[in-house]
Structure 1
Amino acid sequence: MAQPGISICIPAYDMGGKGADYLAASFDRLELQSFRDFEIVVSDQSDTGAVAQVCARYGKGMNIRRVDFTDGPRQSSANANNAMRHASGRILKILFQDDFLARNDALDRIVRGFDRDDARWLLCGSGISRDGETVENPMVPRLNDQLRFGRNTVSSPSVLALRAEVGLHFDESLIWLMDVEFYDRCAQQLGAPVIVPEILVANRLHEGQVSAAVTKSLRRAELRHVWRKTRGRAGWRDLRAYAYQVLKAL
Structure 2
Amino acid sequence: MIKPEISVCIPAYEMDGHGAGYLEILLQKLEEQDFRDFEVVVSDQSTDNRIEDMCNDWSDRLNIYHVWNREAPRQASANINHALDCAEGGILKVLFQDDYLCDRSCLAHVHQRFMETGCDWLLCGSGVVRDGDTIERAMVPSLNEKLHFGKNTVSSPSVLAIHRRCVERFDENLIWLMDVEFYKRLWEAKGEPEILPTTLVANRIHAYQVSNRVDRRLQARELDYVWRKYAAKSTTSGKLEYLKRRMKTIFST
Structure 1 length-normalised TM: 0.98
Residue 121 of structure 2 corresponds to residue 121 of structure 1: yes
Residue 115 of structure 2 corresponds to residue 106 of structure 1: no
Residues in 1 aligned to 2:112 and 2:28: alpha-carbon distance in whole angstroms: 22
1:33-59 Cα deviation digits (max 9, x unpaired): 000000000000111111011100111
AA aligned to 1:65 is: Y
Residues in 2 aligned to 1:116 and 1:179: alpha-carbon distance in whole angstroms: 26
Residues in 2 aligned to 1:237 and 1:131: alpha-carbon distance in whole angstroms: 37
Aligned pairs for 1:157-168 within 5 A: 157-168=157-168
Per the alignment, residue 41 of structure 1 pairs with 41
AA aligned to 2:122 is: L
AA aligned to 2:137 is: N
AA aligned to 2:90 is: R
Residue 231 of structure 2 corresponds to residue 231 of structure 1: yes
TM-superposed CA distance for 1:100, in Å, is 0.2
Give aligned-pair identity as a percent.
48
Per the alignment, residue 218 of structure 1 pairs with 218
TM-superposed CA distance for 1:161, in Å, is 0.2
Per the alignment, residue 186 of structure 2 pairs with 186
1:219-238 Cα deviation digits (max 9, x unpaired): 01001111111112123322
Per the alignment, residue 22 of structure 2 pairs with 22
AA aligned to 2:156 is: S
Per the alignment, residue 137 of structure 1 pairs with 137
Residues in 2 aligned to 1:68 and 1:51: alpha-carbon distance in whole angstroms: 10
AA aligned to 1:82 is: H
1:184-240 Cα deviation digits (max 9, x unpaired): 101000000000000000001100010000010100100111111111212332221
**Ranges in structure 1 where 5+ consecutive residues have no aligned partner:** none
Residues in 2 aligned to 1:137 and 1:128: alpha-carbon distance in whole angstroms: 6
Residues in 2 aligned to 1:112 and 1:226: alpha-carbon distance in whole angstroms: 34
1:72-94 Cα deviation digits (max 9, x unpaired): 10000000000000001000000
Residues in 2 aligned to 1:118 and 1:192: alpha-carbon distance in whole angstroms: 13
3-state SS of the aligned residue for 1:36?
coil
Which runs of at least 4 in structure 1 moved beyond 3 Å after TM superposition?
none
TM-superposed CA distance for 1:118, in Å, is 4.2
Per the alignment, residue 201 of structure 1 pairs with 201
Residues in 2 aligned to 1:7 and 1:173: alpha-carbon distance in whole angstroms: 25
TM-superposed CA distance for 1:166, in Å, is 1.1
3-state SS of the aligned residue for 1:3?
coil
The count of aligned residue pairs is 250
3-state SS of the aligned residue for 1:166?
coil
Deviates more, 1:240-249 or 1:168-177: 240-249
Residues in 2 aligned to 1:234 and 1:68: alpha-carbon distance in whole angstroms: 38
Structure 2 length-normalised TM: 0.97
TM-superposed CA distance for 1:117, in Å, is 4.1
**Ranges in structure 2 where 5+ consecutive residues have no aligned partner:** none
Per the alignment, residue 79 of structure 1 pairs with 79
